[in-house]
């Protein structure tokens, strides 16, 4: 039986009051960890910094015996759930 791979993205929002630049930290991981890898597409890392308006493309690669099921998120941006 194939196992399912859940992917999770966590986004943190911070503001700099002097310049009003909003920065976002995007962190990805696979649940369960042995189910595969989830990385930011441009850097192949699991964590990256982005400015407001930037696009964070996420790449999922399931391990042998697993299938990709869905992306999920627990982040809110501007009062909206991002990727939920």
| pLDDT one-digit tens code per residue, 35-83 | 999 898 888 888 888 888 888 888 889 999 999 888 777 765 555 555 5
Query: How many CB atoms sit inside 10 A of residue 74's CB?
Result: 12
First to last CA, the chain: 27
Provide the CB-side half-sphere exposure for 83 (13 A, CA): 17
Output the pTM of the full model: 0.61
Mean pLDDT to the nearest integer, 18-24? 72
Which stretch of DSSP H or E encloses residue 48? strand 47-51
Q: Which residues contact 39 (CB under 8 A, 6 or more apart)?
A: 28, 45, 46, 58, 59
């Amino acid at each position: 039986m194939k196992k399912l791979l859940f992917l999770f993205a966590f986004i943190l929002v911070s503001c700099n009051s002097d310049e009003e630049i909003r920065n976002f930290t995007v962190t990805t991981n696979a649940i369960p960890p042995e189910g595969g890898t989830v990385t930011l597409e441009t850097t192949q890392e699991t964590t990256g910094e982005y400015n407001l308006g930037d696009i964070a493309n996420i790449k999922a690669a399931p391990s042998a015996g697993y299938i990709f099921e869905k992306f999920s998120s627990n982040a809110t941006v501007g009062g909206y759930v991002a990727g939920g």
